Structure 1
Amino acid sequence: MMRRFAVVGDKLSNNGEICDYKGLIFMLGGHQAALIDGAAYCPICKTTGYIAKEGGPRRMTLGASEIALENDVVVCGCPEHPRIFAKLAGEAWYDDLAENPGVIGSRAASNGSIEEATKRNRNEDKHTSWFYVWDSVTGEPLRNRNFVAHVAGIDQSGRTDDSGYAKIETDCESAIDMHVVFSSPKRNLSPGRAA
């Protein structure tokens, strides 16, 4: 399921807020990415809880930490844990693979048997991730720009679309290392070949 990245300053469902932290910095929409196990303040129980993963198994990593997503929960002193309302990252989204084998979404399970939901999930053989690529200085999307993505030991080349999104497909959960060309070369990109 495509979910928006959570960042420092995003609000919780009970009007709490994700706290700032020191460490590796990855900016999304001009805000520092929120991390699983990172701190968030709850105004109801007046404690600082921690962000816990909820939903699909896949997350982008920052060092040894995973980046939090919209609808992750904050474990605090409240009996019902508040959820993250991610808005500040703008149009930065990530596919958590909630609809893939091993994870059955509540919607899929409620619309039929678990066997049927699992069978539907097995039929999906490609994992697709969309990355919004923008200029960190101007904030403008990098439209129609060449990129090279290193995925599971294989280089893929592509081009961002008219809105600045790069589409990358994999056969399984994989780390993705993407490089965008800012000054277009005079030739098309050919991964794995010398210039």
Structure 2
Amino acid sequence: MTNTILHLDASPRLSDSVTRDLTSKIVSRWPEAQVIRRDLAKTPVPQLTDAWIAANFTPADQRSPEQAAELALSDALINEVTQADTLVIGLPVYNFAPPAALKAWIDHVARAGVTFRYTENGPEGLIHGKRVILAMASGGTGAGSEIDFASTYMRHILGFVGMTDVTLVAADQMALDAETSLAKASGQIEELTLAA
């Protein structure tokens, strides 16, 4: 069965980007995969607006054509996620957290009643059966450390919408020892299994 990959990059650096290099290497591990490409730097996702929020909280069968249009991009982004078997997400760390471009994508994808819902037992994610590989790069932030609000946040929000199978490839603390950090990340990529 062909694996479908959503290849998502968020770094504003269109060249010499560590996360772009890592995501490309990861995706190349599945040469027969069908790839859905989303580049959040080349085609930015807009921030949420008052009109978007009003449309989102209007029941689907009561939305005006204008409200449906407000949610069209969000619907398309969610559709890309649901089509994919595997998500490969570039995660550059900016000031200890994901960049704004990636946060904007999350805000469009994490939608109450669509990708998660609230129940009497608490929130429930509605996106299941996905594998996620995060390709993180940072200057000084250690992956999983108490100041890492990037990979820890991504694991939380992905799990919140139901995606709990998350693998981290980390070229972290590049400012301290770039060569060792890149070698470690390359080793992690080599260890990735090709099964979906």
Same fold per superposition (TM over 0.5): no
User: What TM-score does the superposition give when structure 2 sets the normalisation length?
Assistant: 0.24
TM-score using structure 1 length? 0.24
Please state which structure has a larger fraction of its residues in helix. 2
Greater relative contact order (Cα < 8 A, sep 6+): 2
* Greater radius of gyration (CA): 1
